[in-house]
Amino acid sequence: MDLGLGKVISETREQILYAVNHLPKNSIPAAFEDSIKIIWRHEDMVPMIIEKKLLTINGMPYLEQKLSKREKLRQSTEFIKKFFGNEPLETERNEGWFFIIHIPPGIRYTDFLKEQQRFADAVMGSCLIEREGKAIKVWLSNLQLKTMYHYQFDPNEYQDHYLPVPFGISSRGPIIKDIADTHWFFAGETRYGKSNLIHCIVYSLLLASSKNKQKSYICIVDLKRIEFPEFDEWAWRVTDIKGAVFMLLKITEEIKRREGLFAKARVRKIQDYIYKGYELPFIVLVIDELHRLQDTASQEMLKTILAVGAGFGVIVIGSTQRPSSTIFEKVKFGDLKANFDGKVSFRASTSTDSQIILDNPSASYLPNIKGRAIFQWDCEVEMQTFYFPLSPKEEPQLNKLLAELGQPRFVVKRSEPSDVKPQKGLLPGPKNTRAPGGPLLLDDRSNSYFGF
C-alpha cells in the first residue's frame, strides 16, 4: 500500500533545499539587527533600521550613474563577474544589503562607526558605513573579495578628476579617488603590498597625465634603490639621501615660486589657479620606506611640504612598515601623521600597530592575504589592491602598460650637485612667505627648476 511517504519525503527535501537556498536571503539583516541589540543591550533606545534594501545587481556599483535600467544591468553584471568572479548577487549565496539607520540621542555616530568590524564579522563579509546629513548609511555584504585583481584603469572615464587613482576593489565596487587635495600614508607589515600599491598609483597618474588634460609630475624617493626603476623615463627618481635632500629642496623652492604665481593671480589654491585658465602640473612626491629618510634637513623640509604643499599642488605619498613616534630623531612622527589625511594599512601584526596607523585596530584583523588592506579616507573599508605586474615572467604585461604612457611628458633633470644643503630662508614659513627676487611673470617658466 502506498502511504504517500515517498511524496512526503521528497516534499520535505524540497522544503529543506528551499530553506537552504532562500532563507539566507534574510541572514544579513537578522545578523545586523542581532549585533545592534547585543552591542547596545544596556541602552533604552538602540539604533533603528528605518530602511533596508536587498542590493540586486541593479543596486551594485553603478547605482549612482544616470544610465538606462538595461545598461545598468548589463554593466553591473559584467562588473561583478569580472571583479568578483561570482555570479551576480541575485544568486542567493551572495548578498548585499543597504540600510538607513537612525541613531537615538545618547549614541554618537562615532560609537556606531566603531562597531564596523563587528558588523562585518557578524555577516562574515564586509561593512561600509557613511554618514549623510542625519542619516547613517550602511552597506553590508558577504560577497567575498578575490585574492587578486589584475591592474586595470581607464583615466578617460575620470576627466573631471585632477589626479584619479584606483586603489583597489571593495565589496561595494572599485575605489577610485581624486587624490589632488590629500597627502597619503601607507603602512603595514613587510611584503603585504605597499610598494605594489605605489606602483599602481604612480602608473595611474602617469597614464592620466598622458591622456587627460591635467598633468602631474612624479618625484620618487626610492631609498631601497631597486623598487621603481620602471618609471625612470617618466618620473624623477632619487635613490639616496643626498638625492632626496636635493629633490625636497627643489620642491620647496617650487612651492615658493607658486606662492608668487598664486598671489599674482589672486587665487588661494591650485584648483582655482587652473580654473582661471592657467596650466600648472601637480607634483606628487612619493617616499617609499619613509623610515630610511634619516636626515634632519629632509625631514624638516618634508614637514613643511606636508603642512603647506597641498594647496600649491604638491601631494605626498609616504610609506613605511611600522610607524612609531620615534621613526625620526628630531621630527615627531605624530606631527607628520596629522597631515596625512588618507591612509591605507595593510595587515598590521598587532592591534597597537593598527591603532598607530588608523586610530583603530581593524588592520590587525585583516586576513593573511597579500594586497588586502583597510582604506581610510572619506570612508573606511576593506579592499584588495590591484596587482601590478612586476615579476620577470610578467615583463610582457609590464612593457605593454609602459608603452601606453607614450613619450615622457616633462624634461626630467637628474643633475644633482655634489654637496646640497638647504640655504637659509628657503623654507616657506610665516616669516618668509613672499616669493624671493623680482616680479614673477605668470608665464615665466625660467624660474621653475622643473621647467613647467
Show binding-site residues for ATP. Answer: 188-195
CB distance 312 to 450 below 8 Å? no
Residue 150 interacts with, from ligand ATP, Mg ion, none (CB under 5-8 Å by kind)? none
Residue 310 Cβ vs ligand ATP, minimum distance, rounded to whole Å: 24
SS3 76: helix
Nearest to 390 by CA among 174, 217, 197, 145: 197
- Per partner kind, with CB cut-offs from 5 to 8 A, the member of ligand ATP, Mg ion, none near residue 191 is ligand ATP
Which DSSP string do the residues of 379-424 spell out, in sequence order? Answer: SEEEEEEEEP--SGGGHHHHHHHHHTT-S-SSPPP----SS--PPT
How many other C-beta atoms are found inside a 10 Å radius of the C-beta of residue 344?
Answer: 28
> How many residues in the chain?
452
Q: Is 387 in the site for ligand ATP (CB under 6 A)?
A: yes
Binding segment for ligand ATP (CB under 6 A), chosen from 24-32, 382-390, 429-437, 439-447, is 382-390
x/- site string to ligand ATP, residues 117 to 156, per CB under 6 A? -------------------------------x--------
Task: Please give the Cα distance from 217 to 450 (Å, whole number).
Answer: 9
Among Mg ion, ligand ATP, none, residue 94 binds (CB under 5-8 Å by kind): none
Give binding residues as ranges: 188-195
CB of 196 to ligand ATP, least distance (A): 3
371 binds, among ligand ATP, Mg ion, none (CB under 5 to 8 A by kind): ligand ATP
Which of 385, 427, 428, 435 is in the footprint of ligand ATP by CB under 6 A? 385
DSSP string, 313-364: TEEEEEEESS--TTSSSSS-HHHHHTTEEEEEEE--SSHHHHHHHHSSSGGG
- Residue 72's SS3 state is helix
Contacts of ligand ATP in 162-221 (CB under 6 A): 190-196
Q: How many residues bind Mg ion (CB under 5 A)?
A: 2
Q: E strand or H helix at 20, and its extent?
A: helix 5-22
The yes or no reply on residue 195 touching Mg ion (CB under 5 A) is: yes
| Rounded CA separation 417/213 (Å) | 33
Evaluate whether 304 touches 252 at the Cβ level (below 8 Å): yes
Query: Smallest distance from the beta carbon of 387 to ligand ATP, in angstroms?
Result: 4
Give the nearest distance from C-beta 299 to ligand ATP in angstroms: 20
The verdict on 142 binding Mg ion (CB under 5 A) reads: no
DSSP-derived letter for residue 48 is E
Count Cβ atoms below 10 Å from residue 393 Cβ, excluding itself.
Answer: 7
Q: Contact, 255 vs 189, CB < 8 A?
A: no
> Strands (DSSP E) along 269-326, which ranges?
282-288, 314-320
C-alpha gyration radius of the chain? 25
Cα separation, 50 vs 35, whole angstroms: 16
Applying CB under 6 A, which part among 14-22, 348-356, 381-389, 421-429 lies near ligand ATP?
Answer: 381-389
Strand partners, 187: 320, 345
**Binding of Mg ion by 320 (CB under 5 A):** no
**For the packed helices 241-265 and 296-308, what is the interaxial angle rounded to 10 degrees?**
30
User: Does 321 interact with Mg ion (rule: CB under 5 A)?
Assistant: no
CB of 195 to Mg ion, least distance (A): 3
**Closest residue to ligand ATP: CB criterion:** 371
Q: Is the separation of the CB atoms in 256 and 436 below 8 Å?
A: yes
Q: Reading across the β-sheet that carries 48-54, which strands appear in turn?
A: 48-54, 96-102, 135-141, 126-132
321, interface contact from Mg ion, ligand ATP, none, CB < 5-8 Å by kind = ligand ATP
Considering CB under 6 A, how many residues would be counted as binding ligand ATP?
14
Choice between 194 and 343, CB closer to Mg ion: 194
CB of 222 to ligand ATP, least distance (A): 11
Task: Tell which positions 308-347 bind ligand ATP, by CB under 6 A.
Answer: 321
Q: Considering the rule CB under 6 A, would residue 371 count as an interface residue with ligand ATP?
A: yes
User: Which of the choices ligand ATP, Mg ion, none does residue 385 contact, using the CB cut-off of 5 to 8 A by kind?
Assistant: ligand ATP
**Which of the ranges 190-198, 202-210, 244-252, 379-387 carries the binding residues for Mg ion, by CB under 5 A?**
190-198
Binds 190: which of Mg ion, ligand ATP, none (CB < 5-8 Å by kind): ligand ATP
Nearer to Mg ion, 188 or 311 (CB): 188
Q: Which is nearer to ligand ATP, 122 or 366 (CB)?
A: 366
Binding to ligand ATP in span 55-94, by CB under 6 A = none
Binding positions for ligand ATP, rule: CB under 6 A = 148, 190-196, 321, 370-371, 385-387
Q: Which residues bind Mg ion (CB under 5 A)?
A: 194-195
